[in-house]
Copies of this chain bind each other. A is one copy, B any other.
Amino acid sequence: MLNFESDYTTGCCPEILDRLIATNLESQSGYGFDEYCKEAEIKIRAVCNAPDAQVEFIAGGTQTNQVVIASMLQRHQGVVAARTGHISCHEAGAIEYTGHKVFELPQVLGKIRSNDLLDLVRRFYADANHDHMVFPGMVYISHPTEYGTLYSLSELTSISEVCHEYGMPLFLDGARLGYGLMSNRTDVTIQDIARLCDVFYIGGTKVGALCGEAVVFTHGNRPEHFLTMKKQNGALLAKGRLLGIQFDTLFTDNLYFRIAKHAIDMAERLKTILSDAGFPFLLDSPTNQQFVILDNATMDRLSKDVKFGFWETVDEDHTAVRFATSWSTSAKELDKLQTLLK
């Protein structure tokens, strides 16, 4: 069975396993005070060109969003996100569970527009009764978005400007950041992100790690008592080394970028295969997630040999499905898919 269901169906890149073996018997301090977390922080700071950045490691994505947002917002504030943002609809209310509202902005290809953001904030402050309302206190974007799309440098810059004009930290969810950075069609670098955002995370779980996300507070702005708040959210791992070792490995010899590049190359070939087979796309994604429209007969036939994700119903006879590539996608698998599509 071929599996293109998601980018987290296989284990991790072998370099990580090697490193886990090599370091297994070393004694290391717990709770993120091990050498590897420190090393990984130094490397990430360097790659971001952000000498004052502080890096924290957290086991999963929902948890990261929850811990970061709940520790940066004040009680009277909420977070602004696209209606299709992960925190708006696919985190089981993890943000609201911490007591904060998620303001939903309209989305275009999964992205928010700086104008809509500006409009929301201006209307808020223009309202004489805004003390009776939740204050927009932070902005959340995902890059790549849940639709695989990317902000351009100019879009990101505009959003960042609105955020900073109104004192709202900008938070970028980079669960799939590697795929965004290695896309053939992006003008955004990790240094740009570190410069324009106040906090972002470098996704590990979906980019070659067993688990783990690296949160970057870009300019020495990690909230005070972050460790205590992390623990309060149940997000402080005793064996923090597990996260440190993985990120130290991913940021050694550009591994993170190399495996993401591989996934992008595979996605580009996948796109060609699907396109050559005559299938239209729901939208034009420049990253590792591809949303293709299949007629239902093909979909049913294909699903006997291939796993892919249901995305949405297009019409009575057609369905949009998601194919995702990852560090472990092989050219062989794509060959097999091509054969099956013939």
Contact with A60, one of B129, B135, B234 (Cβ below 8 angstroms):
B234
Answer whether residue A6 sits at the interface, using C-beta atoms and an 8 A cutoff.
Answer: yes
CB A85 to nearest CB in B, in angstroms, measures: 13
Contact with A234, one of B67, B75, B229, B241 (Cβ below 8 angstroms):
B67
Answer whether residue A10 sits at the interface, using C-beta atoms and an 8 A cutoff.
Answer: yes
Chain B neighbourhood of A138, CB < 8 A: none
Contact with A211, one of B11, B29, B96, B237 (Cβ below 8 angstroms):
B237
A20 to B211, CA, bound (A): 13
Question: Could you tell me the dominant secondary structure of chain A's interface residues?
Answer: loop
Contact pattern, A 185-216, Cβ under 8 Å of B = 1, otherwise 0: 00000000000000000000110001100000
Chain B neighbourhood of A292, CB < 8 A: none
Complex contact A59–B62 (CB within 8 A): no
Answer whether residue A23 sits at the interface, using C-beta atoms and an 8 A cutoff.
Answer: yes
Contact pattern, A 51-83, Cβ under 8 Å of B = 1, otherwise 0: 000000001111111110011001110100000
A92 to B27, CA, bound (A): 25
Complex contact B134–A59 (CB within 8 A): no
Give the nearest-CB partner of A243 in chain B.
Answer: B211
Complex contact B28–A21 (CB within 8 A): no
Complex contact A27–B12 (CB within 8 A): no
A97 to B76, CA, bound (A): 9
List 22 A-B pairs, Cβ < 8 Å. Answer: A8-B239, A11-B23, A11-B26, A11-B239, A17-B21, A20-B20, A60-B236, A62-B236, A64-B234, A75-B229, A76-B229, A90-B132, A90-B133, A91-B232, A92-B133, A93-B232, A94-B233, A96-B134, A205-B238, A210-B239, A210-B242, A234-B235
Interface on A for B, CB 8 Å cutoff? 1, 3, 5-6, 8-12, 14, 17, 20-21, 23-30, 59-67, 70-71, 74-76, 78, 89-94, 96-102, 104, 128-129, 131-135, 205-206, 210-211, 225, 227-229, 231-239, 241-242, 307, 310, 328
